[in-house]
A and B are shown apart, each in its own frame.
Chain A
Amino acid sequence: MKIDIAKSALRKGTGVLGIFLAVSFALWSPSAQAAQEDGTITVSVVERASGDNGQAKNPVAGVKIRVQGAAGSADGVTDAKGLAVLNVPQTGKYDVSFDVASLPKGVAVSSDTKTTASIDFSVGVSVGTGKSLSFFVGSDTRATRGRWGLLPQTLVNGIKLSLILAICSIGLALIYGTTGLTNFAHSEIITMAAMVTFWFNQNGPRWPLLLAAPFGVAASALMGSAFELRVWRPLRRRSTSLTSMMIVSIGMAIGTRYVYLFFFGGRNRRFVQYVGDPEIDFGPVGITPRDLGIMIISAIVVVGFSIFLLRTRFGKAIRAVSDNSDLASATGINTDRIILLVWALGGGLAGIGGVMLGAATGVQWDMGNVILLLLFAAFTVGGLGNPFGALAGSFVIGMFTELWTWVFPNVVELKTLGALIALVVILLVRPQGLLGQKERVG
């Protein structure tokens, strides 16, 4: 687990010369589970051994840790595993620091060492929240490769994000293409799959992730179909304007999102499997089996769905309705059935995206909403309503987002900015989007 945090910090380029600091929500691995008690902060101090590609970690024992906040403070010393568990009241913010003088001899810190970090319990308020963070000391050979050495890893991260965005945004584009609706509730369809999968994976029958996931995806597909049958089809029959329908979808999204928060709580939670596995090395990049799985499955889904759209009878019918629904229905295509199919497929795809996203970043009540803006950016950049445009747009947005962290390693928290600025700039240059067509007046 700690390896994971360190890697992600490294990739994002938060540190350069050996000492890395990463703060993360508690992960659900066996080693961490023991420490997950109410109001605890788990701090680990590890040394990154030199000359081994940064893989091995030596826990550092006997380091003095201090946690201080408005609601109280606590002191501790790391044990043989390099861990110190500190109990504090579970409110507000805490500053966590370690005493450099207490490091054992031979363990170095450099001048730009960050010896403090902060933890905020007000994020994700719910009972049972434990927070963990790690201090990394020692030198790292990977980091000495410098900026260019980090680029391949950044690109891999970009591809992963792009693929997840693509899976989610194709559905968005198909729905827009066939019905004209910009569906703000797509984010909640994404979250639905992750939550249902989480239930099967952890609360209910505790099935392995790969067995639980299809149920989550099915739930999202059902949710999409239900939306179409219960909300959008009746509204279309009443000739409701698209603007009105868009605002309806916003209302549904907000309402549903808080239903999730009500039942699921504010915490970010992990699926049981595929957490904390060591990375597989591919030359300059390291990928965890989980991320590799996410990328392979996503790529298969994207390619498979493209073939479905291009080659099969249903795919062609969908594209026909998308191009011109009046013409399509004149040629005998049942547009209502196609639209229902699009909602089911779009929902299912969003569901797959949701499970992937949940595996990558954890399951959270607003996880869909967090990436919704990136999805809109992707499908807008690609040209509204064109599924292949959404695919292209997802790659533009995904790569821009991750490359931002590489170009501006000091403002990682603003990485969404890169994508949003790309959106604005592309629309200025090409107002109809990458694969879109100009509209005719008259």
Chain B
Amino acid sequence: MSTDTSAVPFESVPGSQKPDAILVVDNVTRSFGGLTAVNVAHLEIPRHRITALIGPNGAGKTTLFNLLTGFDEPDTGEWKFNGLSLGGVAAHKVARRGMVRTFQLTKALSRMTIIDNMRLGARNQRGESVWRGIIRPIWASQEQDITQKAEDLLERFNLAHMRDELAGSLSGGQRKLLEMARALMVEPEMVMLDEPMAGVNPALKQSLLQHIKVLRDEGRTVLFVEHDMDMVREISDWIIVMAQGEVIAEGTFDDVGSNSKVVDAYLGSHHDVDLGDHA
């Protein structure tokens, strides 16, 4: 798998073209009561890379996530995932096509066990049909495979020892881990993480970072929203900056950090942010 991040060949301009882009967005707009939250003319997300989506608060990052994953409907525009249009496709179908998201406020299913949280993620379960669900022998063997896979993932994410606890008993960081592991049960091509580091204690941050890198090394594409610039610098191959709904800059961390538009956007929003030593 391509892991050579030093030789990123893309042009550092907003909406630049990438060969074999996994996700292509065109003219997507969304306004709330006269206020334009998202207005993206053109955007391409490179395949097999970790792309960070950054920008000051209210830049429209989460709204764009919601639009792309079918959780909200845009006023105009269309976007293609693997060449297939996703406009008007329901959220659950977007997930089935291989684009799975997590949420800013983690959605651990509190009153279900951790293993059940994991099992839920598996696709094409025979027992999820109401008729076949009644008869256990129909789905029992598949359930075993799913459980095995879930346990392997829990092992990898250091949650195996809590297998049968209720998800509600997890700490904030562990919930983020669970949510990421659960998303992997869907076997997505592209993982979209909305602020994976928010509320995570420093001890867990490093492990989370490693997990995200592993996603790329497994051949998945990662797009994530983040405010923690240290993390962005450490793991991103490519960075997209949004402000006031628009994509204002693209490039590597150094490119973006030296972009005056980006600095203005952050300063203009009075957002006290550390852009790193290179800024």
Judged by CB atoms under 8 Å, the answer to whether A and B touch is: yes
Residue of A whose beta carbon sits closest to that of B72: A441
A231 to B91, CA, bound (A): 40
A441 x B66 contact (CB < 8 A): yes
Q: How far is the CA of A440 from the CA of B32 in the complex (A)?
A: 10
Closest to B33 in A: A437
A440 touches B33 (CB 8 A): no
Cβ of A442 and Cβ of B33 under 8 Å apart? no
A-B CB pair tally, cutoff 8 Å: 18
12 A-B pairs, CB-CB below 8 angstroms?
Answer: A437-B32, A437-B33, A438-B32, A440-B66, A441-B71, A441-B72, A442-B62, A442-B65, A442-B71, A442-B103, A442-B105, A442-B194
Nearest chain-A residue to B62 (Cβ)? A442
Bound complex: CA of A244 vs CA of B48, how far in Å? 46
The reply on B104 being an interface residue by CB < 8 A is: yes
Alpha-carbon separation in the docked complex, A394 to B57 (Å): 38
**7 smallest A-B Cβ distances: which pairs?**
A441-B71, A442-B62, A441-B66, A442-B104, A442-B66, A442-B103, A441-B72
Residues of B within 8 A of A437 (CB): 32-33
**SS class, residues of chain A in contact with chain B:** loop
For residues 264 through 279 of chain A, which have their beta carbon under 8 Å from a beta carbon of chain B?
A: none
A437-B32 Cα distance, complex, nearest whole Å: 9
Q: Does B244 contact A (CB under 8 A)?
A: no
Contacts of B32 in A (CB 8 A): 437-438, 440
Interface check B63, CB cutoff 8 A: yes
Q: Which of A438, A440, A441, A442 has the most CB of B within 10 A?
A: A442
Q: How large is the interface on B (under 10, 10 to 19, 20 to 34, 35 or more residues)?
A: 10 to 19
CA distance A438 to B66 in the complex (A): 14
Other CB < 8 Å A-B pairs besides A437-B32, A442-B62, 12 of them?
A: A437-B33, A438-B32, A440-B32, A440-B63, A440-B66, A441-B66, A441-B72, A442-B65, A442-B71, A442-B103, A442-B104, A442-B194
- Complex formed: what's the CA distance from A6 to B144 in Å? 75
Provide the B52-92 mask, 1 if CB < 8 A to any CB of A, else 0: 00000000001101100001100000000000000000000
Which residues from A are CB-within-8-Å of B66?
Answer: 440-442
* Proximity bits, B181-222, A CB within 8 Å = 1, else 0: 000000000000010000000000000000000000000000
Residues of chain B within 8 A of A441, CB atoms compared: 66, 71-72
Residue of A whose beta carbon sits closest to that of B65: A442
Write the chain A residue with the least CB distance to B71: A441
CB distance from A274 to the nearest CB of B (A): 46
A442 to B71, CA, bound (A): 9
Separation of A441 and B32 alpha carbons in the complex (Å): 13
- Give the shortest distance, in Å, between A439 (CB) and chain B (any CB): 10
What separation, in Å, do the CA atoms of A442 and B103 have in the docked complex? 6
Q: In chain A between 401 and 442, which residues have their CB closer than 8 angstroms to a CB of chain B?
A: 437-438, 440-442
Write out the residue numbers on chain A whose beta carbons fall within 8 Å of the beta carbon of B105. Answer: 442
A440: which B residues are within 8 A, CB to CB? 32, 63, 66, 72
Instruction: Give chain A residues whose Cβ lies under 8 Å from the Cβ of B65.
Output: 442
Q: How far is the CB of B270 from chain A (nearest CB, A)?
A: 16
Least CB distance, B121 to chain A, in whole angstroms: 19
- B residues in contact with A438, CB < 8 Å: 32
Nearest residue, chain B, Cβ from A441: B71
Q: Which residues of A contact B194 (CB under 8 A)?
A: 442
Q: State how many angstroms separate the Cβ of B96 from the closest Cβ of chain A.
A: 18
B71 partner residues in chain A, CB cutoff 8 A:
441-442
Residues of A within 8 A of B103 (CB): 442
Nearest-CB distance from A436 to chain B (Å)?
A: 11
- 0/1 string, B93-114, CB within 8 A of A gives 1: 0000000000111000000000
A442 CA to B32 CA, complexed, in Å: 15
Q: How far is the CB of A346 from chain B (nearest CB, A)?
A: 27
With both beta carbons as reference points, the residue of chain A lying nearest to B107 in the complex is identified as: A442
Task: Return chain B residues, CB-CB under 8 Å to A442.
Answer: 62, 65-66, 71, 103-105, 194
CB distance from A40 to the nearest CB of B (A): 60
A442 to B65, alpha carbons, bound, how many Å?
9
The residue in chain B whose Cβ has the minimal distance to the Cβ of A437 is B33
CA distance A441 to B66 in the complex (A): 7
User: Roughly how many angstroms separate A202 CA and B65 CA in the complex, as a whole number?
Assistant: 65
Separation of A442 and B104 alpha carbons in the complex (Å): 6
Q: How far is the CB of B21 from chain A (nearest CB, A)?
A: 24
Q: For chain A residues 295-352, which have a beta carbon within 8 Å of chain B?
A: none
Binary flags per residue of B131-169, CB closer than 8 Å to A gives 1, else 0: 000000000000000000000000000000000000000
In the bound assembly, the distance between CA atoms of A219 and B33 in angstroms comes to 41
Question: How long is the Cα–Cα vector from A426 to B263 in the complex, in angstroms?
Answer: 47
Which residue from chain B places its CB closest to the CB of A439 in the assembled complex? B72
Q: Nearest Cβ in chain B — how far from A388, in angstroms? A: 15
A342 to chain B, nearest CB (A): 25
Contacts of B72 in A (CB 8 A): 440-441
- Distance between Cα atoms of A438 and B71 in the complex (Å): 12
Which residues of the partner chain A approach B33 to less than 8 Å between Cβ atoms?
A: 437
Interface centre among A437, A440, A441 (most CB of B within 10 A): A441
Residues B9-61 near A (CB distance < 8 A): 32-33
Instruction: Give chain A residues whose Cβ lies under 8 Å from the Cβ of B63.
Output: 440
- Chain B proximity mask over A197-232: 1 for CB below 8 Å, otherwise 0: 000000000000000000000000000000000000
Chain A minimum-CB-distance residue to B105: A442
Output the least CB separation between A22 and chain B (Å): 50
In the bound complex, what is the Cα–Cα distance between A440 and B65 (angstroms)?
12
Residue of A nearest to B91 (CB): A441
Cα A442 to Cα B91 with chains together (Å) = 13
Closest A residue to B225 by beta carbon equals A442
Most chain A beta-carbon contacts within 10 A, residue among B65, B72, B104, B194: B72
